[in-house]
Amino acid sequence: MEPDEICWQALIRDVPDFPKPGIVFKDITPMLANGPAFSAVISQMAERVGPDVDAIVGVESRGFIFGAALAFKLGLGLVTVRKPGKLPADIHSVEYELEYGVDRLEIHRDALSRGHKVVIVDDLLATGGTAAATVELVRKLGADVESCLFAIELAFLDGRGALEDVRVESLLSFK
């Protein structure tokens, strides 16, 4: 069976009451552990990246997994967006709201330049706060966001609403 024919969606496991009661966590680790399935996901993501993209932006932490594999497949560089205190050089940072508080993301000031076109990649789109903060960081550097690309979208949380002016793509959507 060719990688694109693998039913990787069947390898997404529901874990009830994680990380807290009432939450059904979408666990991607079985899919990541299956080589043909992971390859299929990366191939499907690659089909959604335009020809003029300069870099992939991966968001900590699972966005690094998808972003690195996608950047490698496309021959592009990978720019990482990290949690506070993880980047060694001069940074831009942005605070954003979570359903349970406030968090911060950072990017190196020299990671991108004006006019660079990027695709932001992460494993999951939920409420959109992390993705919107990443868009803000990329734009602080003068780069253009071609799209945000996710393996999974929890559509019932309307994360797209936080990304109104950005094209959003997801491979698998839970309504």
Tell me which residues are annotated as active site: 62, 99
**Partners of 105 in beta bridges:** 94
* DSSP label of 128: S
Paired sense of beta strands 55-59 and 91-98, if any: unpaired
CA distances from 95 to 11, 48, 73, 83 (A): 33, 29, 32, 10
**Cα–Cα distance, 56 to 149 (Å, whole number):** 10
**Cα–Cα distance, 157 to 100 (Å, whole number):** 15
CA distances from 82 to 59, 60, 108, 156 (A): 7, 5, 9, 27
Residue 168 tokens read as 């959003």
